[in-house]
Amino acid sequence: MKTKITENNNKIEFHYIFNDDTIHSIDAFTRNNCEKEFLNLIKTISSELGINLTVTTESKKEGSLIDIYNFLVSQNGLSLAVWGTFLLKVFKYVFPIKSKDDSEAAKLANEKSLLELIKQAKEIEESGIPVPTNIQKRLEKIYSSRKIKKQKSNFFKKLTNEKQIKTFEVLTSSPMEEKVLFSIPKTIFKEYYLDSDNLDPLIDNSAEIEIISPVLKNGNYSWRGIYIKENLSHEYTMKDKEFKKKVIEEGIPFQNGTRLECELEICRKLDENGDEYNSSYKINKVFNQYIGEAVIEMPSGKKRRLKKELEDSQPSLFD
């Protein structure tokens, strides 16, 4: 089965190679899901490049399983065919990069291909064709994009469901030649999977949260409050055991407008489309509690204050 992507005289062909040469069909859901992930990935690349992309599909050719996609790039109403070709070159370089290969050889290969793309972009600019601003940073972001890795992971996970698939190949062709750009056997599809959708958390060391509903009893209950920086309410997991103990055993008062100064951990994930979202909020340490004009220093706040006083009292190298 072949899926052809054409742009002028340049073509990229998707070849789904089966265990049995007599097979010429694929599960419709698998095919449509893989096409969706491919189009999402192309959309992400064009968005990161800062170019306007229109994708059209032509009717299938008779007697075959070939889908033809036309990529039209424009800027200010002017069609830029060269950027359609360049976008496909970015795809050729980025798509084969494995998610689970941190070897030095892989890093050097990726760096080499990135430098080659940057060089080609500069050559386009030197020829007088408009180039998106900060093109080097845009390409670097594409190479490290977790969103693109997620979309590739989705593609290969869905293609794995097709039991008869043996190899996935991408070819480039022109009126003069046809050659394999890369060939990926099903045995290594898993190397393109993302093990986890979790991202590194964000830490706000001086967050302020206005408490809406505190938890005044033992148990795994969530606090609720307004994160002042966002002016949005969230549920929070209270991780500061000393603060929880003071609330329950000493009956720390809460009233309308009570605020906590704290260390806030914002956990993040990738959704199914590869977009980032905040999955949960954790209060790791409570430094101070504000009730009106009154300030109550908490155990974590006292530790932070004493640590800072000790650091400030230490002579510097130049004292």
pTM of the model: 0.81
Question: Does residue 7 register a pLDDT over 60?
Answer: no
Residues 78-84 have a mean pLDDT of 71
Per residue in 50-64, pLDDT (tens digit) is 888 877 776 554 434
Q: Residue 98 has what pLDDT?
A: 93
Architecture of the domain defined by 198-313:
Beta Barrel (2.40)
Q: Residue 77 has what pLDDT?
A: 54
Residue by residue, what is the 3-state secondary structure of the chain? CEEEEEECCEEEEEEEEECCCCCCCCCHHHHHHHHHHHHHHHHHHHHHHCCEEEEEEECCCCCCCCCEEEEEEEECCEECHHHHHHHHHHHHHHCCCCCCCCCHHHHHHHHHHHHHHHHHHHHHHHCCCCCCCCHHHHHHHHHCCHHHHHHHHHHHHHHHCCCCEEEEEEEEECCCCEEEEEEEEHHHHHHHCCCCCEEEEEEEEEEEEEEEECCCCCCCCCEEEEECCCCEEEEEEECCHHHHHHHHHHCCCCCCCCEEEEEEEEEEEECCCCCEEEEEEEEEEEEEEEECCEEEECHHHHHHHHHHHHHHHCCCCCC
Q: Residue 261 has what pLDDT?
A: 97
Question: Does residue 179 register a pLDDT over 90?
Answer: no
Q: What is the location of CATH 2.40.50 in the chain? A: 198-313
Question: Does residue 168 register a pLDDT over 50?
Answer: yes
